[in-house]
Each structure stands twice: as C-alpha cells, then as structure tokens.
Amino acid sequence: MANNVVFVLVCLVAVVASVVAVVFAVGLNDAKKEKISTSSKAVQTVCQPTAFKETCEKSLESSSSSDPKELIRTGFQATVTEIKRVLADSKTLQELEKDKGKKNALEVCKEVLDFAIDDLEDSFNKLGEYDMSKIGDILLHIQVWLSGALTSQQTCIDSFAEENGEAAEKMKSILKTAQELNMNALGMMYGLSSIAKDLNIPSIENISTTPLQRKLLSEKNSDFPVWLSHSDRRLLQANAGSIKPNVVVAKDGSGKYDSIVKALAEVPKKNTQRFIIHVKAGVYKEQVHIIKEAEHVMLIGDGPTKTVITNDICVIRSKLRTFFTATVAVDAKHFIAKDIGFENTAGYEGEQAVALRSTGDLGVFYNCHFNGYQDTLYAHKEMQFFRDCVITGTIDFIFGDSRAVFQNCQIIVRKPGPKQNCIVLAQGKMFHNSTGGFVLHNCTISGDKDYIPVKDTNKAYLNRPWKILATAIIIQTQIDDIIAPEGYIPMLPGKGETTSYFVEFGNRGPGAKTDGRVKWSGIKKVDLNTAKTFTPGPLPQVQYMDSEYRGSMHSRLDIRPVNHRKNLRPFLLLSLLLF
C-alpha cells in the first residue's frame, strides 16, 4: 500500500513538473516572440524614412535589438561591411586592375573608399558616445560625415567616368548596395523625429534634424565656428612673427627644412595638437599630400604672393585622374592655411589641373591665393571655410561637393583657351539629404586684365550643375560686367536644370542683373522675407557674428567690405552649408 502511495506521489510530481516545464517553455516562447515582434517593429520604424526600405530591413535583420540608436548604428556598420567587401572580393575590380588605362582610376577608388569607411566608422562611434536625448549636439557632424562617405563613393565612379563611361557604369553597379545603405543611413538621421514619435521616445520626438535650426557657434565667443578652438582663433588673428612654429621651412637654408614635404614627416600620427609649419617666402615646387593621419596641421606663409606652393600636374600631360593632379591635397581634418599661395601652372592646355584639393573635414583657409585654370580649387567634401582669399581660373574653377563658405573672396576669371567658355562654380551635390553646397558671401567676381578683351567671345557664367542636385547661393556679392546675362549653362543638356538649387540675392554690380538669366526651375527667386528667415530647406540661414553687424537683416543688406587686415570678423553663420 505504501509503495502505491509513493508511486502515485512520484507520478503527480512528474506531471506537475511537466506542466510547469510546458508553461515555462510557452512563456519563454511567448517572450521570445514578443521580443522578435518588438524588434521587427523597431526595424520597420527605423527603416521608414529611408529611400531603400527593403535594403534597410535586410541590413538590420540580424539585429535582435529594439533600441533605435543601436539599429541605426547597425545600419552604419552594414555600409562599412559592404564597402570592405567591394574592396576585397570584387572580380570586376580585379579585372579593371589589369587594364593600365583604368589603373589610376582604381587607385582613386581605393583611396576614397577608405575615406568613406573612415567617415562611416566616425559616425558609428560618435553616435555610440551620445544619449539619444542629446543627439542634436552631434547630428550635423554625423550628417556631414555620412554625406562625405557618399561623395567619396561617387568620386570613385567619377574617376572612371573621366575616361570610360562603360567602366563607370560597372563601378556604379558594384557600389549600388553600398550607396543604397549609405543613403539609408543618412535617411535615418534625417528621420529621427518620426522614428522617435512612432516608437514613443519623447526625449527626441521634437528634435531638429535640419542643420538650419541648430546653433553651432560658441556661446562664449560667437565670432568663430564652434569647432575652432580658442588657441586656433588666436593664431588666425596673430601676426606670423608672433607665432612660434613647430618647424620652419625655408629656401635660403634658415629653416630646418627646405621642403614642405620633409617638414610634414615630423607631424605625429593621429596628432591631436596644433602642429604649426612656418613656410618662409619662396616658391616651392612640390606636390604636397597632407595624409589623413596628419590632423591639426597649420601652414603659415609670409604672404600669399611671397610663399607659393606650385606644380604643373594635369590630366592631359601627367595621365592622371583629376583627383591626383592637386599641387596640395589635404586629407586630414582640422587643417588651417594662412597667408600662403597654392597654384597649378599647367595652363588651359593641361585641362583639369587642381591647385588645392580639400577633402578633410573642418578646413579653414585665410588670406590664401588659389591660382590655376580648369578645376583650380577642389572643395571635395565635408566642411570648409574660405575667408579673404583670391581664387582664379577658367573652367569649373571652384568645384566639388563640400559644405563650403567663401566669404570676402576675390574670384577672378582668367583668359581661357580658344573656343572655351569660363564657368566659376560647378557644385557636385547628387544625393537627397546630403549636405553639400557652396555659398559665396560678400565676394567680388571680376575678370583678369587679359580676359576683359575676350569676354564677349569667350563668355563667362556663374555656375553649371555638375551633379543633378547642385546647390549654390551667391549673396551680397559684387558681380562685374564679365558674366553673360544668362548666368548659367548646363553641364549636359537637361542635367540639373530643374533639380538644382541656385539662388542669387542682394548682389550688386552690372553682372548681378537677373532679368536675362536662363529660365530654369532650379534657379530660385526669393523675396526679402524669405531671405530674412531662410527657413529649413535648401537655403541657408544668415547671421552675422560681429557686434558691428548685429540687428535685423534689413540693416545689413548694404554690408560694406571688411578690412581683413584689421581682424577676422564678421564671421558668417550659414547653418545649412557650414556653421
């Protein structure tokens, strides 16, 4: 009898244990399903603002997280993985490498795709450092880096397009997924408000995802961009003689080196402190490459006509892609140049011949000269600021896809080759939500004395859209009688005429008359109220940061030229395109 009781009890315990196990398993399964459902919903929400939703959801399917920040970072990482895959595994790349005619283009691709990886990894790391409630503090920088990664990929494609359209199409096909992922990453950052609303995240629901609504100048000293340190501000205001350099370069033997390239070898890798190189008066025929690891370099000359870096590398004679023709190429972040000249003397016969290529983020150029012919100044990507500079050339002599502001600059059209026309700007924005665009503020656009006699034969134009979303704003600028009344000319018929964004506002001089401009829908006419507010969209918000010019925009429309020798002010805040 006792044995039967024990047997029954054992059976009951076993049954109960089984029921508990089943219930527990069902509970775990339900919890797992709920977690998967939550994660799936989060993925769909994060991908909602993107242009390529299927690509987006596929890139995030391996993540089990429902945290929007981690999902967005997963999207960044997926883009990095895809670009690395392209560099490592592409059979087409291997085939192109065997073709000597395309080898230089492939070298460009390897370099710029490495830049793209850096920009994406910087975005991944920076986003990881911040709580989502404070994302507004870094949002613009991440958008700029993601845009820079897109520009780098397009530069790779363009390097093949310079010679062979078929090869360019092949490269475009190879990078299709990477570009889609990159555009999705940018779309996520612009869609943060809607993502937060759908996922009930109140701390970032009302965040501004447009650069226009974020203040990026220092609270304590609003005369300078926030990313320019106090010590750098003092350096820009100081006389060269009062600055103690790390290294001196001189042709006469009075410095440590007679070459800028030699001096740059002293810059520590991953440098975090300002490294000042004083380049004494002289003409230095060198090809200078400031590599991406050489951050925080400052070149100071004895004046832009006294200290000149020159070369004559060009597409035609040197058999190189435009990207590699630069006399000076800056790949490093936080670069500053002051009182120095950059030139490319290849002439119009050399065709594309760059004097300066500025690729690294947060570049500043003060009282510099850039002299060349076609493609003089390549403002390649990310944030660049040019103040009190002289820029000369013939065709597309200010070009690229950076967020570049040119303030108080003299822009001079030179005499081109026979049957050539001249174009000042060729802006290269191609992707929606990307941040590129040029602003010319309080500049002077004039002609060189040799150009004036031929201006009616070899016409000059303000602008042509290099890419379909080209963005350029010319504001409060003196335009002399050298610009054709049409003002604009297409790069290719129909390309960018309706999709670009060009604005002229408050300009002066005989060339500033707009009644004869071409009738493109991409050329926008804005009224005073629009100019005053510059609400979110393709236009910049304008604020003058000098106390002398504070007040309403009505009182600033007749701004006078500033004596740049006196000081660096007023700084211009153009928050769509730079600060």
Q: Please give the average per-residue pLDDT across 390-419, as a whole number.
A: 96
Q: Does pLDDT of 438 surpass 80?
A: yes
Q: Give me the sheet containing 523-524, strands edge to edge.
A: 247-249, 275-279, 297-300, 336-338, 363-366, 383-387, 403-407, 437-441, 471-475, 501-505, 523-524
State the pLDDT confidence band at 229, using cuts at 50, 70 and 90.
confident
Q: Is 375 a catalytic residue?
A: no
The Cα 503–Cα 527 span in angstroms is: 11
Q: What is the pLDDT of residue 240?
A: 80
pLDDT of residue 66: 87
What one-letter code names the amino acid at 305? T
* Dihedral class, residue 542 (left if φ above 0, else alpha if ψ from -120 to 50, else beta): beta
CB of 264 closer than 8 Å to CB of 290: yes
58-to-54, 78, 185 alpha-carbon distances in Å: 6, 10, 13
Residue 423 and residue 408: Cα distance in Å, rounded? 19
| pLDDT tops 70 at residue 204 | no
Residue 293 has pLDDT above 90, yes or no: yes
Predicted confidence at residue 214, as pLDDT, reads 36
Of residues 241 and 107, the one with the higher pLDDT is 107
* DSSP 8-class letter at 573: E
d(CA 433, CA 402): 14
pLDDT tens per residue, range 346-396: 999 999 999 999 999 999 999 999 999 999 999 999 999 999 999 999 999
Neighbours of 141 (CB within 10 A): 18
Neighbours of 565 (CB within 10 A): 7
Q: What is the pLDDT of residue 123?
A: 96
Q: Does the pLDDT value for residue 203 go beyond 90?
A: no
pLDDT band of 552, cuts 50, 70, 90: very low
Alpha carbon distance 465, 404 (integer Å): 16
Rounded Cα–Cα distance for residues 483 and 512 (Å): 8
pLDDT at position 561 over 80? no
DSSP helix, strand, coil percent of the chain (3-state; round to 5) = 40, 20, 40
| Rounded alpha-carbon distances, angstroms, from residue 308 to 191, 338, 387, 499 | 46, 12, 18, 39
Query: What CATH number does the domain located at 403-579 have?
Result: 2.160.20.10
Q: 119: which 2 tokens?
A: 């920009």
Mean pLDDT for the chain? 83
Q: What CATH architecture does domain 53-209 belong to?
A: Up-down Bundle (1.20)
Which one has a higher pLDDT value, 566 or 389?
389
**Which residues make beta-bridge pairs with 544?**
572
Chain segment 110-153, per-residue pLDDT in tens: 999 999 999 999 999 999 998 877 787 788 899 999 999 999 99
Q: Which CATH superfamily is domain 243-393 in?
A: Single-stranded right-handed beta-helix, Pectin lyase-like (2.160.20.10)
Rounded to an integer, what distance in angstroms lies between the CA atom of residue 576 and that of residue 107? 33
pLDDT at 544: 30
Choosing from 122, 396, 401, 480, which is the catalytic residue? 396
Which of 335, 398, 388, 358 is CA-nearest to residue 570?
388
8 A C-beta contact, residue 42 and residue 68: yes
Cβ atoms of 302 and 277 within 8 Å: the answer is no
pLDDT band at 526 (very low <50, low <70, confident <90, very high): confident
**Which helix H or strand E contains 298, and what residues bound it?**
strand 297-300
Residue 25 has pLDDT above 70, yes or no: no
Q: What does the pLDDT read at residue 192?
A: 83
Residues 436 and 379: their CA atoms lie apart, in Å, by: 10
For residue 1, the model assigns a pLDDT of: 53
Question: What confidence category does residue 7 fall into, taking pLDDT thresholds of 50, 70 and 90?
Answer: low
User: Mean pLDDT across the stretch 81-105?
Assistant: 82
Same fold for the pair 53-209 and 403-579? no
Q: Which residues contact 434 (CB under 8 A, 6 or more apart)?
A: 146, 147, 150, 151, 186, 401, 469
Quote the pLDDT of residue 564: 38
Q: Quick one: pLDDT band at residue 96, thresholds 50, 70, 90?
A: confident
H or E stretch including 25? helix 2-47
Nearest to 398 by CA among 425, 363, 422, 430: 425
Domain edges within the chain: 53-209, 243-393, 403-579
Give the pLDDT score at 228. 78
Residue 553 CA to residue 556 CA, distance in Å, equals: 5
Tell me the DSSP string of 351-388.
-S--SEEE-SSSEEEES-EEE-STT-EEE-SSEEEEES
The model's pLDDT over 52-87, given as tens digits with 9 standing for 90+, comes to 999 999 999 888 888 889 999 999 999 999 999 999
